[in-house]
Homo-oligomer: A and B are copies of this chain.
Amino acid sequence: MSGRLAVIGLGPGNADQVTPQAANAVAEASFFYGYKPYLDRLELRPDQTRIASDNREELARSNEALAKAAEGHNVAVVSGGDPGVFAMAAAVCEAIEAGPEEWRAIDISVVPGVTAMLAVAARIGAPLGHDFCAISLSDNLKPWELIELRLLAAAGAGFVIALYNPISKARPWQLGRAFECLKAVLPGTTPAIFGRAAGRPDERIEVSLLANADAAKADMATCIIIGSPETRIIKRREKPALVYTPRSATGSK
């Protein structure tokens, strides 16, 4: 008897950025697995059960949730942002591939959401208006050398770069090192946007230039967007500046 497992994206954190599809999926599930701060966003009914776990326990959490679904229950795994972007959907797939055959019979669905870089970009203009990439700066699951290689490849080819998981207590130096890498190949005048908690009451969006980008301004809740050499800043007298990347590109630096 196989149940259902929905991996649900709750968006950036503001209730009005949760899609009706996500809200419906939450209403239908009985057991909720997730990192505690994401579960705390939900208003569950008395008949709904939450099982909180810590950050960096994604695989164990996926295994527990799949085992519960395999018993025939309707299970939800929740993520902030979009569950497919550096979040729980990949962890659940990994667990299915490594797990018992019966887990492949579970009805799996993924409910997309507004991921952090889109929420941050929206608050400042359109920095992702042209070709862009998303890179996780966490070297827990990949070698740092690979991260540097990707930063250099992306910047050299003119991609705008969104940095996820920029910094944590266990990874204090990586973001500063990433800035150093990027400074070697991008103009110091390239816009660098620090977007913290976009759309939430404690939101803080700051525009800096790569030359002055200060890793100390970021925390775990920050998504950083580094422009391409084509990214522009529009100064406005009565309003905050807009940052955008034009739809056209020449490729020359």
Which A residues contact B (CB, under 8 angstroms)?
A: 9, 11-12, 14-21, 24, 58, 82-86, 89-94, 96-97, 104-105, 107-115, 118-119, 121-123, 125-136, 141-143, 145-146, 149-150, 153-154, 156-159, 232, 234-239, 242, 244-251
Residue contacts A-B, CB under 8 angstroms, 25 given: A17-B112, A84-B121, A84-B122, A84-B127, A89-B121, A89-B122, A90-B129, A91-B247, A93-B129, A93-B234, A94-B247, A96-B242, A105-B237, A108-B242, A110-B125, A113-B118, A131-B135, A133-B134, A142-B249, A142-B251, A145-B251, A146-B249, A146-B250, A153-B157, A154-B157
Known A16-B19, A130-B136, A237-B105: A82·B251 in contact at CB below 8 Å? no
Known A105-B238, A122-B84, A239-B107: A113·B114 in contact at CB below 8 Å? yes
Smallest CB separation, A138 vs chain B (Å)? 9
Q: Please, how many angstroms separate the alpha-carbon atoms of A91 and B121 in the complex?
A: 14
Q: Please, how many angstroms separate the alpha-carbon atoms of A125 and B93 in the complex?
A: 7
Find chain B residues with CB under 8 A from A245 CB: 90
Give the secondary structure class of A's interface: mixed
Q: Please, how many angstroms separate the alpha-carbon atoms of A14 and B20 in the complex?
A: 10
Query: Quick one: copies of this chain in the complex?
Result: 2
Find chain B residues with CB under 8 A from A14 CB: 21
Find chain B residues with CB under 8 A from A239 CB: 104-105, 107-108
Q: Please, how many angstroms separate the alpha-carbon atoms of A89 and B124 in the complex?
A: 10
Task: Let me know if B128 and A122 touch, CB within 8 A.
Answer: no
Task: Let me know if A158 and B146 touch, CB within 8 A.
Answer: yes
Q: Please, how many angstroms separate the alpha-carbon atoms of A112 and B18 in the complex?
A: 11
Task: Let me know if A251 and B143 touch, CB within 8 A.
Answer: yes
The residue of chain B having its C-beta at the shortest distance from the C-beta of A142 within the complex is B249
